[in-house]
Structures are given as structure tokens and as C-alpha cells.
Structure 1
């Protein structure tokens, strides 16, 4: 669109039909975002689309609206399939489809790991219009669920494609591509155009239109970004001080491993801060429960691994705290993208110790701006140290008890879809094993 052209003011202006425009209005989608403005008209013309846009830009509606409009014009079961990298994102995409498609009677099924296979088979047997899935579990159903196929598929969407490929779903996606119709429309949405994504594009899209909203890694304009610098051993003390300072505001605290998320959650609870953990080792019900408590405001603090950093639209997150600064700069962008969404303002505060200076410099280079130092009175913060030390001791004991209980239940059978979540999961599993073993003869000592 040229500079002289006026941006479309409504979804009707870009060709969206009346029933879907009314659904958008009910959901509070007043005017199309840039990615929606650029992608939807091409998708409505039947073209394959590559959409590149930063997190929080409205990508889900950019592919959901054209699919629902095509479904209205040509209704058929198993019409569209959307692949997502994490279970939480799959449920969120399904919610958007159901909300937008309620006026036209669109039915949706979610097929992800960690959930009952038989219940999913029943849902698929009812021939939903849209299947939202993680690739591992979809492949399971294609191989093992009698009567299920995607022969009638008209639309395939790969959302957060860079993350799908980072999690090594490539081989599973290749197998799925072999058994679905070649005559289909394909939408590929990603925050970045990596070499893996480009390869996937060549394998799965036909003469696509490339719609690019941001050409580089960027963060929202209304996001205020800070760092706090202190010795590594003071991290917990600074976190407790910061959350007390921000009392009443909603915050997501990002840590690197599942084990650390659990420990921080226990620590904060021992100090009277009602925090709720979210990580890849929780059951799906508990993960959705944690998200819903945070979304509804029953809990103000969510402590999470990067399983919560991609795509999740949680309204009105005031602060993002990088307790562990991410090793990859693009993970930083996705984490801080949980706040300052849809034109709102927000704050991101990264904890930097003597071991993290280079990581901070790398992030600053990628986003093209220097982070400001967040003001804090060191003497005031250190007054909390004694209470924090006691809470740390209690949290460590509780964590060991939890790990001991897990160890006594046996290893259990792991799902084929366990890697739906985040790479930190693998690290924390190893850590958990070490804790359970407790060195040679660990089990004897516990008895």
C-alpha cells in the first residue's frame, strides 16, 4: 500500500463478509491490523500466503477470517488444519476460530499431546470443520485413528513456523504433507524468515504472496525496557523486591528451566506472593488451569518457561520479568511481546548478573536500542535478604520432597508428543533425575 493510500478502516473494506465483520466487532476487533490488512485480501483471492510479523500483531485472525469465509461459501468437514508449536497456542487458536465462526456454525477440534487420545478420536469422528493441532499428535491420529484422514482438506496453516522447526517438528510435518491433498491453500505465518522456514515454504506453498510487516526483530513502540544489574546470588532478593514494588499489577516471570520455575513459585508463595507456575512438565489440564487463573486475574504473578513466550494473548499483562535472561535474542522479543499488546503500554525488566552482560549487549544490538537501568535502592532491597534466605531454604526442602514423590511413583510412560513445549524441558528432566538419584544409593537414603 502506498503512502498516499488511506488505510482500510474496517474489515468490510478488505472484503470480509458481514457475518464475520459482526463477529469481529463483538470481539473488539475494531479495525484490521497491518498484517490483517495486507494478508486477508490475498487470502480471499485464493492465493497462498507467507505472513511475517512480530508477536502481538493479530496473525491468528489474518488466517482465520479467510478460512471461515471460504467455509461459508463451500461448507465441508475437515476443511482446514492449523499446526501450532505448543498446546497452549493450539487451544488459543481454536478459541479464536470458535469465537469468529460462531455466527456461521463453524466446529473446531483440538488435537494435542498430553490429552486423552480416545476423546480426541471421538471429536474427530464428528467431522469438525477445523482441526487445530500439534504435529506429533496429528501424525499419531493419521496413523492410528480408524477412518480419520485429511483427504477433504482445503486449507493448511503453519503458525509460528520458525518455532515449529526449532522444536524439530520438520520430519513430522514432511510426513503430514505427503498424505494431504496437493490441491489446497497454504498459509505460513512466522515471526522470522529463517533458512528452515524458507525450505518449508518451497516444499509446501505454490506461488505464494509474501506479506512482511516487520523487516527486522523489533519490540512494540509502547514497551518500556529496563535492566537491573546485581550479583548472581542476589537474584531472588531483587525479584521479591520488584514484585512487592509492583504489587497489584500482573506480571509474568520467565525462567530458563521447569525446575527453576517450580522453585521460584515455591519461594514466592513462602513470602506471601501468590504465584502460579506454568511449564512443560505439567499436565495439560493443570497448564490450562494455570493460564486461566492468570488470565482471569485470580493470580497476579505467572512464573513460566518459554512455553508461555510464543503467541499467547493474555490481556493486560503489565510487566514481563526476565529472571533468566534468554540466550537467544529472538526469545527475548517473544517474551517481552506478552506485554504492550494491541496498542497498550507495558514494561519489561531483565535481570543481569556478572554472567549475563554479553547476552544483554547482544539483545540491545538486535533490537537496536539501549535498555535503561531500572531504579532501585540497594540498601532497601538488601533489607529483604534475611527473609528471602529463609524462604529459599523452605522452597529447596519442598522441591526435594516433590521430586522424591515423583521418583517413588516410577518413571512412567512419556508421550510421543512431549516435545510440543520447550527445549528447557529437556534440561530440567536431567536436573530432576539428578535430584531424584541424589548421588549413589539415593533411594536407600530416602528409605
Structure 2
């Protein structure tokens, strides 16, 4: 691989100031314009680009096309075989030939469709033809996604000596600066930290970049990275290829497209806001006071599966994890206010199946391919309907089947109706026997008390700040190996029947008008 010019190899200088992580943390609260976007997205068909073909044709085409047919270098075809990527996915079949022709690409595809391969393979193909350092820049919204993309680039380029550098917040800037000074071929970065390096690192620039990728572009914009994106786009060369990948086409993404792409080819391989066919989606209408009991019942009923449970706040993830641990379940939290090392450790334990339940905020709901997620539980219903699509996209990936269960309380009805409106269909009722659920109430109440005390201890040890960063000390304190047990009710008959008796008839039924009055 050839090096860039000598004048770019100046001495490295980095700032010793405290790192500003404000741009890198997952935002728990989104913009107010999401509600308008939800309604507009469900009603408007103007964004549908529909390059996809009929399912029968797709299946036949998938059987015929190989990686070599797409025009990829032999070394990359071999790398795909070694990774057991049998055949190109829809987005890869559509995007790779266009990208190899040197055109800008906008790719709209559902999660789990192989978007990373769709931009990584053409970039590596071009790099082999014209080797140079600082060849491509990939921008992502979250740290975890950046590390995952880096792993895929290194796996695909392992036989050809590709050097990658991941530049994200929460990690040491000096160490990252030293990596950048070695002039990697591929830089994968979150926008905030990349701007830090551009402003503080002497001699570092992006003038040589030939390819720019914006992955999960809608998410980057929703996390208020517009200012950082503008700064990055200004220092990139005009003569470059740009790939923009997004699960949804919002107004902000359209604006970004006009600003950064030249005559792009638009590719959409699925209907807007579609969830995959192999995904079994259901809802459970419950009284909010028994939410934890119903969650434990679901985990108990589906024991033996791996779970991702989504909560709305960082505090909820920690509290729920403590409660489940008190019941002997192998739960681990993941949220945006944990340190980067803790987040990576939590993800790794779940990926390697050392922990079977990952309790997460939306920080992990986009772009992360964790192959063994069997069941997604929306413990807290997402505030923005589109986030539902991305949450449930964690399961039923790459042709596998999966389940998604959404808990709907009397206060969530309007949000739930928005989700059904966006999907264009009604979800099925998740059936469960109320008597069996309420039999667990006493055990769960005891676990809640234990969790409350542990959470208070954590807050006390951190000087009252435990509600902000409680997950840091708390994601690796289990005293069990991850084996799951079926939870048995206390006292044989279960002491929890009486409290639920009054509302028993309404459990599991869609009484929307009644629910609205309760709001």
C-alpha cells in the first residue's frame, strides 16, 4: 500500500483537555418533529423508490447471482465465502454494481439487510485497484455501530492487509491520534469525535479521502450532528464518491442528500417501514402497576431464548436488570451513559451468550447485528413510531425467525395506535393466562424491593449520581453463570390474585376507548 505525501506526515499533537462527550452520548429524548414525520411517513408515498422486484423473482435471482457476478475482485469473493456469506442480499445485489461504476448511492433498506457489506465491498474493491492511505471515511451515529463496521471491514480485508481506525468518544484521544498518524486505509468515526481530531490534531486532514459513507444517516441527523456534519463535509474533497444509507427517508435526509451527493442512484429494496415476514409481532395490554410481573412471566414462558428488552431511560435499564438478577435471571444493562469499555463488555457478553438477557435503551436499537436474538420485548413503548421498526429489527435477521412483544399500558394506547398506523396492520394479541401471571406477583415484588435497595446503595456510593451513571458499576456484578431457571410462584397458590382481580376482565383485550378515558 502506498503512502500519502510527506507534508501530511507532520508531528502529532493532541489536546490534553478533558474530552467532550456531549455529542457522542445517545440522546434519550428525540426531536419534537418526529410525530409529524410519523404521520407524514404513513400517509405519503412520494419517497417510495421501489427498485425491488417481486418476491418470487428475488428468490430466483438470489439463487443465480454470486459475488463474482456482481463484479467484485476475486480476493473479496473469497473473503465473503470465508465469512459464510453465501449469496448477496437484495441491497447488495442492487447497490454493489452501481457503486462499482463509480456512482453515488442512496440506499434505503430495512435493518438486518446487509447494508454494511453493500458499501464495504465496493470500497475495498476500489482500494485494491488504487491503493492509498486515508482512502475512505465512514460516519456512524453510535460507538457500538462504529466498532461493528470496523470489525466487518477488517474481516473482509484480512487477506489483503487492510488497516482500519475507529474514532469514537469515550476512548483516549491521544491513543486514537497515534492510530490516525499511522495513516489507516479506512476511518470509521462518530461525527463529534472526528471533529475534535480535525480541530486539535496537527497535520491531520481528510484531503485524500476518496469515499465517504454516512451509515444510519437518519439517526445521525436525529442526534443533532448537523453542525459536525457540515464541518466534516467542508474539509472533504469535492471529487469523491458518497454513499448514504438510511432505514428511513426523512426531510433531513433529503436535505443532506442534496448537500453531499452528486446525481445519486436511489435504491430501495423493500416497502417503506416494512418489518420482515419471519417476525412474529404481538402486543399485550396490561395495567401499568403489574408491568414487571408480566415481563417476568414472558421471560419465564419463553425460557431458553435470548432476549433484548428495551427501556426508555438509562435508570430503567439498571433498575430492571437488578430486579431480574434478584430472580436469578442473567440480565445485563446497556445504555448511553455507561463508559465505553463497559458498553463494549456488556455487548460482548451478550454476543458470546454469557448473558441471555440484554436490557437496553435505544442506543443499541440501530445497526447492531447480534446474531442470536430470539425475542425482542418493548418493555417501554417507543415514543417515536419509527424507533419501533428499528427495535424489532434486532430479531428475525438474515432470514431467521423471531418474536417481538410490546407491553401496552393504559397510558400507551395512543403511541401504540401510531405504531399500528405506521405498519399498516394490527398486531396479534400475545396470549397468556392471567392466573399464571399473578401467581408470580409476590416473587416479583420481593425482587423489586431488593433492586430498589441496591439502586439506592449505588446512588449513595456515587454521591447521589447513581441515577445518571449507575450502570457503570452494575453491569458485571452477577454471581451466576447465565443458566436460566423457570421461576416458580411462592406459596403454591400465589398470593397475588386478589390485587389483580378488579381489572381481570380487561387484561389482554383492546379496549381502546376505555383506555383513552384513563389517560
Does the TM-score normalized on the shorter chain lie above 0.5?
A: yes
Q: How far apart, in 1, do the equivalents of 2:399 and 2:199 lie?
A: 44
Q: How far apart, in 2, do the equivalents of 1:358 and 1:345 lie?
A: 28
Q: 1:51 aligns with which of 94, 107, 125?
A: 107
Decide whether the 8 Å contact of 2:337 with 2:469 is kept in 1: no
Q: 1:332 aligns with which of 376, 388, 410?
A: 388
Match of 1:34 in 2: 90
Structure label with greater radius of gyration = 2
Match of 2:267 in 1: 211
Decide whether the 8 Å contact of 2:98 with 2:265 is kept in 1: yes
**Secondary structure, counterpart of 1:253 in structure 2:** strand
Q: How far apart, in 1, do the equivalents of 2:469 and 2:134 lie?
A: 40
Q: Aligned pair 1:375/2:434, yes or no?
A: no
Q: 1:166 aligns with which of 215, 222, 227?
A: 222
Q: How far apart are residue 405 of structure 1 and its match?
A: 2.0
Q: How far apart are residue 241 of structure 1 and its match?
A: 1.2
Measured against aligned partners, the alpha-carbon deviations of 1:244-287 in whole angstroms (never above 9, x if no partner) come to 11212100000000000000000000010110100011111110
Q: How far apart are residue 429 of structure 1 and its match?
A: 4.5
Q: Aligned pair 1:245/2:301, yes or no?
A: yes
Match of 1:420 in 2: none
Q: How far apart are residue 44 of structure 1 and its match?
A: 0.4
Q: How far apart are residue 53 of structure 1 and its match?
A: 0.6
Q: 1:232 aligns with which of 274, 277, 288?
A: 288
Match of 1:276 in 2: 332
Q: 2:242 aligns with which of 186, 195, 201?
A: 186
Q: How far apart, in 1, do the equivalents of 2:85 and 2:469 lie?
A: 44
Q: How far apart, in 2, do the equivalents of 1:164 and 1:403 lie?
A: 32
Q: 1:342 aligns with which of 398, 413, 426?
A: 398
Matches within 5 A, 1:349-388: 349-388=405-444
Match of 2:489 in 1: none
Match of 2:163 in 1: 107
**Secondary structure, counterpart of 1:165 in structure 2:** helix
Q: How far apart, in 2, do the equivalents of 1:49 and 1:167 lie?
A: 23
Q: How far apart, in 1, do the equivalents of 2:333 and 2:306 lie?
A: 14
TM-score by length of 1: 0.90
Measured against aligned partners, the alpha-carbon deviations of 1:364-389 in whole angstroms (never above 9, x if no partner) come to 11112211111111111111111111
- Name the Cα RMSD after superposition: 1.7
Q: How far apart, in 1, do the equivalents of 2:392 and 2:463 lie?
A: 35
Q: How far apart, in 1, do the equivalents of 2:68 and 2:469 lie?
A: 53
**Secondary structure, counterpart of 1:157 in structure 2:** strand
Measured against aligned partners, the alpha-carbon deviations of 1:201-221 in whole angstroms (never above 9, x if no partner) come to 111111111111124101010
Measured against aligned partners, the alpha-carbon deviations of 1:402-428 in whole angstroms (never above 9, x if no partner) come to 1222226x89xxxxxxxxxxxxxxxx7
Match of 1:263 in 2: 319
Q: Which sections of structure 1, spanning at least 5 residues, go unmatched?
A: 412-427, 433-447
Q: Aligned pair 1:222/2:282, yes or no?
A: no
Matches within 5 A, 1:12-23: 12-23=68-79
Q: How far apart, in 2, do the equivalents of 1:161 and 1:310 lie?
A: 11
Match of 2:354 in 1: 298
Q: How far apart, in 1, do the equivalents of 2:353 and 2:302 lie?
A: 15
Decide whether the 8 Å contact of 2:318 with 2:470 is kept in 1: no
Match of 1:402 in 2: 458
Match of 1:71 in 2: 127
Measured against aligned partners, the alpha-carbon deviations of 1:162-201 in whole angstroms (never above 9, x if no partner) come to 0000000011000111111111100000011111001101
Q: How far apart, in 1, do the equivalents of 2:395 and 2:353 lie?
A: 15
Q: How far apart, in 2, do the equivalents of 1:161 and 1:406 lie?
A: 36
**Secondary structure, counterpart of 2:65 in structure 1:** coil
TM-score by length of 2: 0.78
Q: How far apart, in 1, do the equivalents of 2:235 and 2:456 lie?
A: 47
Q: How far apart, in 2, do the equivalents of 1:430 and 1:246 lie?
A: 31
**Secondary structure, counterpart of 1:88 in structure 2:** helix
Give the paired residue count.
415
Q: Which sections of structure 2, spanning at least 5 residues, go unmatched?
A: 1-50, 472-519
Q: 1:144 aligns with which of 176, 200, 206?
A: 200
**Secondary structure, counterpart of 1:407 in structure 2:** coil
Q: How far apart, in 1, do the equivalents of 2:370 and 2:361 lie?
A: 15
Which is further off, 2-11 or 125-134? Answer: 2-11
Decide whether the 8 Å contact of 2:458 with 2:470 is kept in 1: no
Measured against aligned partners, the alpha-carbon deviations of 1:123-172 in whole angstroms (never above 9, x if no partner) come to 11111000000000000001111221111100000000000000000110
Measured against aligned partners, the alpha-carbon deviations of 1:304-347 in whole angstroms (never above 9, x if no partner) come to 00011001000021100000011111100000000000000000
Q: 1:116 aligns with which of 155, 168, 172?
A: 172
Q: How far apart, in 1, do the equivalents of 2:296 and 2:268 lie?
A: 40
**Secondary structure, counterpart of 1:210 in structure 2:** strand
Q: How far apart are residue 430 of structure 1 and its match?
A: 11
Q: Which runs of 4+ in 1 moved over 4 A?
A: 1-6, 428-432
Q: How far apart, in 1, do the equivalents of 2:461 and 2:168 lie?
A: 27
Measured against aligned partners, the alpha-carbon deviations of 1:29-88 in whole angstroms (never above 9, x if no partner) come to 111111111110110011010001111110000000000000000010110000000000
